[in-house]
């Protein structure tokens, strides 16, 4: 195996005798981007250098090569051009892997939304049309971007450029890597990506729909207080309707709603969306501008993360324009956010709240007869904070996936990622696993060793009947090979209604340790920290 050398790259260094590095333009989880001068052709370029500690990571090297090859096949006004790609060796040691691209003098859309909250609808539609044009060109050449988000859109004067094709893939390829990991920006990950379906262009259209909603409304389409809730909300309820936007043509509001459809085949193509946006937008629209920040808001950081209970290669997660580790936010994901201490979602109603120290709402999300996925909302119903693990008893032969932070011993499953749950607040944790035969749902839950009053919900959100004896085998999940439940008929018995959709919120909670490179955001600014940046989501596919 080729060994790696310590990085010699700093301002004034020359890469392969050709590219003179002048100053860093931004740092990401996997690479540093430099302003550089091509000494051979006498022009300024951007050089993306893979970070030294990733030079022995075959997956990182492969992603850089895929990005180079994808961009080399694309020529479009709304896509950055690639000029060169290479590996630098010192003897047998690999000292650099790099990509040379068009240097774009533009402001990230993320920064604009941070400063302005929302855009006039004409500007939002014009920006959206150009993004859709670029995506249509990429889709026509068999490339799906897979990370459309404000941090990956640059706004040169009067123009729009889609950048960072690091995660791109051809349609029909697997969404998950060999380790069962999904990479993306939480707020913009489509439902089918979470379900592990094959890569398809409709995922980019969904992400653009979320971005259009964000530009028009100043918020996200779903309320979410953490990254788990942010990513799973589209699986649980429809988006909040777009609030009234003065002057917005109804055709554009309908187009945004269509982009957010849960089913990919109900969304328009990127080309259709571009045509709709352009047909209902004035020809003359002022260019989007923003005041450049005093500090470099493009700086990103490597946040080490390893799924609990697994032995995996080192992975990373990045957050565009500043990040810090949300170390114990009551979820199994490590999430890149900023400034505020973690908050849990408001407690859903649950039975026997006055008789138990906690309540547990277990909702089945999917079940294909061999694998299933669910979320578990545990609420502290006492008057004091509670710290301790969430646990439940497996009623059948299920083997619970460790990737969500669960550890299974015999029939007891424990999760220590929740941390402290404040009085009257909730923690949401995902559950996934495999089984043979039937899939009875658990009914015996605890928080910090205290029993919780259980509620079971079907995939549609309807209540399921509880067994007569506490801790007895619960109902069998529909589609699991067991008996058909009274199913999605709501029992008149005591279980509460499923949690109802809340109004949208701009982002999940923020980290108590802001990045030193990032100025403190305004408390009234909903553009900050909406889950932007990459998050490695340990969400195994639902298939067997």
Told to judge if 147 belongs to the known catalytic residues of this protein, a careful annotator would answer yes
Percent helix, strand, coil in the chain, to 5, is 20, 25, 55
Angle between helices 270-279 and 250-259 (to 10 degrees): 160
Angle between helices 270-279 and 202-217 (to 10 degrees): 30
In 3D space, the residue among 292, 318, 286 whose CA is nearest the CA of residue 30 turns out to be 318
Distances in whole angstroms, Cα of residue 409 to Cα of each of 320, 394, 412, 415: 39, 10, 5, 12
Distances in whole angstroms, Cα of residue 109 to Cα of each of 190, 411, 455: 20, 49, 42
In 3D space, the residue among 171, 176, 209, 178 whose CA is nearest the CA of residue 193 turns out to be 176
> What does DSSP say about strands 82-90 and 390-393: parallel, antiparallel, or unpaired?
unpaired
324, 299 Cβ separation under 8 angstroms: no
11, 44 Cβ separation under 8 angstroms: no
Q: What is the DSSP letter of 453?
A: E
List 53, 84, 105, 147, catalytic entry = 147
Beta bridge partners of 182: 537
In 3D space, the residue among 168, 165, 156, 149 whose CA is nearest the CA of residue 77 turns out to be 156
- Strand ranges (E), 496-542: 535-537
Beta bridge partners of 412: 393, 409
In 3D space, the residue among 179, 212, 460, 456 whose CA is nearest the CA of residue 313 turns out to be 179
458, 484 Cβ separation under 8 angstroms: no
What secondary structure, in 3-state letters, does 232-279 show? HHHHHCCCCCCCCCCCCCHHHHHHHHHHCCCCHHHCCCHHHHHHHHHH
Helical spans, DSSP H, in 280-392: none
Dist. CA 531–CA 298, nearest whole Å: 15
> What does DSSP say about strands 324-325 and 14-15: parallel, antiparallel, or unpaired?
unpaired
In 3D space, the residue among 460, 453, 516, 526 whose CA is nearest the CA of residue 488 turns out to be 460
- How far from the centroid of its chain's Cα atoms is residue 361's Cα? 24
Residue 297 tokens, joined: 């808001």
Residue 263 tokens, joined: 């089913």
Residue 36 has, within 13 A of its CA and on its CB side, a CA count of 33
In 3D space, the residue among 378, 307, 270 whose CA is nearest the CA of residue 537 turns out to be 307
294, 133 Cβ separation under 8 angstroms: no
Q: Which helix (H) or strand (E) holds 32?
A: strand 31-38
* Catalytic residue ranges: 147
């Amino acid at each position: 195996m080729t060994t790696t050398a310590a990085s010699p790259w700093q301002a004034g260094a020359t890469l392969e005798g050709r590219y003179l590095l002048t100053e860093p333009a931004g740092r990401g989880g996997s690479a540093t981007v430099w302003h550089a001068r091509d000494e051979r052709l006498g022009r300024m370029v951007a050089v993306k250098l893979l970070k030294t500690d990733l030079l022995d990571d075959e997956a990182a090297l492969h992603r850089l090569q895929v990005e180079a090859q994808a961009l080399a096949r694309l020529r479009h006004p709304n896509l950055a051009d690639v000029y060169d790609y290479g590996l630098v060796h010192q003897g047998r040691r690999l000292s650099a892997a790099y990509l040379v691209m068009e240097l774009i003098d533009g402001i990230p859309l993320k920064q604009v939304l941070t400063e302005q909250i929302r855009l006039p609808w004409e500007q939002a539609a014009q920006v959206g049309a150009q993004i859709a044009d670029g995506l249509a060109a990429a889709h026509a050449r068999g490339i799906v971007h897979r990370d459309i988000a404000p941090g990956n859109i640059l706004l040169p004067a009067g123009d729009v450029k889609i950048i960072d094709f690091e995660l791109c893939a051809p349609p029909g390829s697997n969404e998950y890597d060999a380790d069962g990991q999904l990479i993306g920006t939480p707020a913009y990950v489509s439902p089918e990506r979470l379900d592990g379906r094959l890569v398809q262009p409709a995922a980019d259209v969904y992400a653009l729909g979320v971005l259009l909603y964000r530009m028009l409304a100043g918020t996200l389409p779903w309320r979410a207080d953490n990254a788990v809730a942010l990513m799973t909300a589209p699986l649980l309820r429809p988006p909040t309707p777009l609030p009234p936007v003065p002057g917005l043509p109804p055709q554009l509001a309908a187009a945004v709603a269509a982009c957010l459809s849960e089913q990919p085949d109900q969304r328009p193509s990127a080309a259709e969306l571009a045509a709709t946006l352009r047909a209902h937008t004035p020809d003359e629209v002022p260019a989007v501008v923003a005041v450049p920040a005093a500090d470099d808001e493009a700086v990103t950081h490597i946040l080490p993360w390893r799924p609990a209970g697994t032995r995996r290669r080192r992975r990373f997660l990045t957050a565009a324009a500043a990040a810090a580790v949300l170390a114990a936010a009551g979820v199994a994901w490590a999430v890149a956010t900023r400034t505020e201490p973690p908050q849990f979602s408001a407690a859903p109603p649950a039975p026997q709240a006055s008789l138990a120290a906690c309540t547990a709402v277990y909702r089945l999300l999917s079940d294909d007869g061999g694998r299933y996925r669910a979320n578990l909302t545990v609420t502290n119903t006492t008057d004091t904070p509670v710290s301790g693990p969430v646990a439940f008893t497996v009623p059948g032969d299920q083997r619970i996936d460790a990737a969500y932070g669960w550890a299974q011993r015999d029939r007891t499953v424990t999760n220590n990622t929740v941390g402290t749950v404040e009085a009257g607040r909730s923690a949401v944790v995902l559950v996934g696993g495999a089984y043979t035969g039937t899939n009875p749902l658990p009914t015996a839950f605890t928080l910090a060793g205290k029993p919780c009053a259980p509620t079971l919900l079907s995939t549609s959100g309807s209540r399921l009947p509880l067994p007569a004896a506490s801790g007895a085998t619960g109902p069998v999940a529909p589609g699991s090979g067991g008996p058909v439940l009274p199913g999605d008929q709501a029992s008149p018995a005591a279980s509460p209604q499923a949690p109802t959709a809340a109004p949208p919120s701009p982002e999940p909670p923020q980290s108590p340790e802001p990045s030193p490179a990032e100025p403190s955001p305004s408390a009234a600014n909903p553009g900050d920290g909406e889950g932007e940046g990459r998050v490695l989501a340990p969400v195994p596919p639902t298939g067997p």
